[in-house]
Copies of this chain bind each other. A is one copy, B any other.
Amino acid sequence: MKQSIIVSVDIVLFTLSQSTLKIVLLRRDQEPYAQQLALPGGYLHPAEDRDALAAAERVLREKTGIVSPYLEQLFTFSGGVRDPRGWSVSITYYALVHESLIAPSAGHRFELLAIDALPDLPFDHNRIVAHAVQRLRDKSSYSALPCHLLPPLFTLTELQQTYEHILGTTLDKSVFRRKLPDLDFLEAVPDAIRQGKHRPAQLYRLRPNKQLAIFDKTM
């Protein structure tokens, strides 16, 4: 059985930088689209990769040096026209990391671009990014997902701002705080208080094994 289908993985890696939701892009070193910025991606290696998730972790590590604590399958894009090399399948993933994990290292060069200021990307990468942004926004409204863009300890104000940067909108502080008891994925860290300009703020963290607790999903 001869199918001749190209199978790749591509990764949309989000971070929050300068209060802006950004993604990691790499300049392609090979044709097609050599020298253009594109999503980190690469061929799946059947001899090496256990499955597509392992391939995504490998490609991200090899091409950017980044290991993301959160990596989720997004969607599989496919067809005869998306890649000039032939009928192709791209199993895509999205990742969220705190900015401190994105240190440009020796041998890895990438750029961080704001999601609302992207150039025309090769293949269907703009469509993949749009899909990832939509998923991130949808899922943020009922999960702890945005916490992965924060450092391990954070204040409720920082958490609210992160939700706001993702959703692209301002949230009412009292409504946000009223919702918080439903978010059982959070816990106050005992004796961890940050001294701020105004009054001291309690620090919070994700509960272990509650990284994606869902609320508002029962009738």
Contact = CB atoms under 8 A, between A and B. Distances in A.
A21 interface: no
B78 A75 contact: no
Given A138-B217, A141-B217, A219-B176, A80 B46 contact: yes
A179 B51 CA distance: 41
Contact of A52 (B43, B52, B89, B219): B89
- Most B-side CB within 10 Å, residue of A3, A86, A87: A3
Interface in A59-88: 73, 75-80, 86-87
- Most B-side CB within 10 Å, residue of A50, A78, A91: A78
A169 to B, nearest CB: 9
Contact of A91 (B46, B89, B179, B219): B89
Contacts of A86: 46
Given A1-B43, A219-B141, A51 B73 contact: no
A144 to B, nearest CB: 13
Given A52-B78, A216-B217, 12 more contacts: A1-B43, A3-B6, A3-B7, A3-B45, A7-B89, A46-B80, A51-B77, A51-B78, A141-B218, A141-B219, A175-B219, A176-B219
